[in-house]
Amino acid sequence: MNPQRIWLTGASSGIGLALARELANAGHQLALTARRREPLDELAAEFPGQIEVLTADMTEQAEVIAVAEAMQDKWGALDLAILNAGTCEYVDVSSFDSALFARVMAANVQGTVHCIEAALPLLRKGEKPRLVGVGSSVTFCPLPRAEAYGASKAAIRYLFQSLELDLAQWDIGVSLVSPGFVETPLTAQNDFPMPMQVSSEKAARKIVKGIARGQREIRFPGIFIGFLRLLGSLPNSLRFALTKGMARTDSEGRD
């Protein structure tokens, strides 16, 4: 990619931080947003003149609007927006908690929508603009305990695939990232096996390459994604029979 004006959210750790470093090394101008400022300042010090640090909570519309106003003042336009910020919480059905769903939906869906609202006017003035959202491979096949996270990422999938149709009139490209398990501080908290897990750095390289190619969907790792898609395409009764053993029993949840 030629040097671009890029807004990246969720940039303080994991995939976001690896993406920020990858893009900075490639010579792009970056506006990095996250709630925590310290990691962003440290990266900005490594790339003087390339990085604007704009902290915000994506679930707060006013804070996101303030970020957009800062980018408008700095650049006047955006060429690329990568909306990576999000969270994950797993459901324990023995103590089903609607507040958990509210938190996950607020961060993953409403936070993304706030960012889209802020980014679109700037992207319309950009050079070969593209909007990128980070979904998940969990949308290919229902999995136990992923009710909240999976539902939020399914919403992201539908949102971005619909947006691609409406944004074509302004020549704004749309990409959806659907990763498998990636080594991040968030996945480090998981208490279950994560097959074919990739590093944040490898994930960032895959994403940057996919964006440069203009891919509608950027999926990795290939074998894991293919397996999930195959499972998800099976008749419901067969899929259920093959995946129900992954669910925890009530006694396992208490342990």
Catalytic annotation, residues: 149
Rounded to whole angstroms, the Cα distance separating 121 from 123 reads: 6
Q: What is the DSSP letter of 195?
A: T
Q: What residues are paired with 51 via a beta bridge?
A: 30
Rounded to whole angstroms, the Cα distance separating 29 from 161 reads: 27
Find out whether 12 and 53 touch, Cβ atoms under 8 Å: no
The edge-to-edge listing of strands for the beta sheet with 80-83 is: 51-53, 29-33, 5-9, 80-83, 130-134, 173-179, 217-220
DSSP string across 200-229: HHHHHHHHHHHHHTT-SEEEESHHHHHHHH
Burial class (CB within 10 angstroms; exposed 0-12, middle 13-18, buried 19+) of 38:
exposed
